Structure formats: C-alpha cells, structure tokens
Amino acid sequence: MKLAAREHGTDGRPFLLLHGLGGDSSAWETLAPHLDGRAVAVDLRGHGESPDGPWDWEAVLDDLDDTAVHFGLDNPVVVGHSLGGILAAMWALRHPECPAAISLDGHRSATTDPANYAGLPDDRLHAGLARLNAIFTAQLETVTRPDRSITSVLRTAPEFLDALPVFAKVTSPFLLVLATRNLPVPPDLLPLMDAHRAGLRRDLPAVCPNVDVHEIDATHGMVVEQPHEVAAVVNHFVSNRFNA
C-alpha cells in the first residue's frame, strides 16, 4: 500500500515518524524540524490521506518498508507516538540492525488486563474499566477515520492491549518516553489512570530490562504539548547510541 507522507529536512540521519491511532502525519509538524536529521512522517493505512485497508501488523510493516525504500531512508531511526510507538518496536524486531527505536507513550491500552494496574482495589478497578470502556465505545461511534474495521481489531489486539511482551524482544536500542500527567478525564477515572501508570512503572523493569525509560512532564499528547522537549530527548538518545 502506498502511504501518504510528508518530508521534513533534506539531509542528515534518517528518521521515520509514526503517528497514533486516529492521527496523521500532521502531528509531527512542530516536532520534526527539531530532529537532528531528515524525517519522513507517514499516514498509516486507514488514516489521513493514505488508502483504506485491513489492519494486519505485518501488512502495516510492509507499508512502512515500502515507504522507507521509496524515500531512500537507509536504516532509519523510528519514532512512534502511541500506536506508532508499538509499531516502532515491531519495526525494530523486523529490522534488528535498526540504530534506535523510540516509543512516545505507546505501551498499553488504557483499558488493558486488570492485572496491569497497581494500587487500586478490585471493585474500583473493575468499575473504572467498565466506565472507561463505555466512554471509548461511545467515542468510536463518532469516528469515521480510521473506520470500524480498524478500531475494532485494535481494541482487542494483544499487542495493543499490552505491548510490553513485544518490547521485551527488541534487541535494538529502544527508548520508551512515559507521560507523567493524565489526559483530561472525568475525576472518578483519575485513580484508574494513576493505577495504569503505577502498573507500568512496576512492570517495565521486570518485563523489559532491555528498554530505556524516560519520564516527561506531559500528558499522552506530548508530541503536540512539548515538541521541543520531546525532540531533545529523542536527539539525546540517538546521539548517545551513535557516539557510543
């Protein structure tokens, strides 16, 4: 599938930028110019100006391979936000020679397995998950792109529900940038979001000792909220790997 894409810069280290679910390549407009190199931001299949198509992880990676070849990105650093961060890990698994892969708060769905939350009593945990799932279901009724065929697959995909087992297999240098603040949610869901983050902090060292973790004072929308700071974190991680 030929993906729509936008180029930022003309030379230097190649970057491939992958947006989150429901987004498109415009998400990188402010951040990309601050990366130390030439970046290509894509619209994933079913998003933005790219064609529709069924969501299959391997097919999506094939799309990205073709895009990298088309733009002459030789062994790019892959940076993804949210869903794109999960794909960055999958790219690194497919391409063990990948110089660096970075996930910007792409790790576990907010509605993942109850065991992935920490510090919340069971009754409050299950009530919070039921409420959050109902909110997501109602929101998806209003979304036209990506269509239901993609969102319904992703909501139940094991890799989307919990990407930590994927991260654990990555041998390339891998950075996970975690948000420390919550997106605006109803006040009664704040304990669930805090328990979600506490579960990540608990599980990452045990499940993914291969992953570098950096926390940033931002919400899940860090790419738009803190583009300069996020770019600086990415540049520092990448430069350290190339200069090691």
* 70-92 per-position pLDDT tens digit: 999 999 999 999 999 999 999 99
At residue 1, the pLDDT reads 86
β partners of residue 8: 39
Segment 197-211 shows an average pLDDT of 98
Helix axes 122-140, 148-156, angle to 10 degrees: 160
Q: Rounded to whole angstroms, how far apart are CA atoms 36 and 123?
A: 48
The predicted model scores a pTM of 0.97
At residue 196, the pLDDT reads 98
**Domain housing 51:** 5-243
pLDDT at 214 over 80: yes
Domain count, the chain: 1
* 215-238 per-position pLDDT tens digit: 999 999 999 999 999 999 999 999
Question: DSSP readout, 128-151?
Answer: HHHHHHHHHHHHHTT--SS-HHHH
Closest Cα to residue 102, out of 219, 217, 216, 212? 212
Specify whether the CB–CB gap between 187 and 151 falls below 8 A. Answer: no
Q: Which two tokens stand for residue 14?
A: 């190649």
pLDDT at 244 over 80: no
* 21-32 per-position pLDDT tens digit: 999 999 999 999
Q: Rounded to whole angstroms, how far apart are CA atoms 201 and 137?
A: 27
What's the mean per-residue pLDDT of the chain? Answer: 96
- Cis omega (within 30 of 0) on the bond before 76? no
At residue 241, the pLDDT reads 84
Identify the H or E element spanning 166: helix 164-167
CATH number reported for the structural domain that contains residue 157 in this entry: 3.40.50.1820
**Cα separations in angstroms, 231 against 22, 34, 90, 171, 202:** 22, 6, 21, 23, 26
Model confidence band, residue 242 (pLDDT cutoffs 50, 70, 90): confident
Closest Cα to residue 114, out of 130, 126, 132, 124? 126
* 136-182 per-position pLDDT tens digit: 999 888 888 999 999 999 999 999 999 999 999 999 999 999 999 99
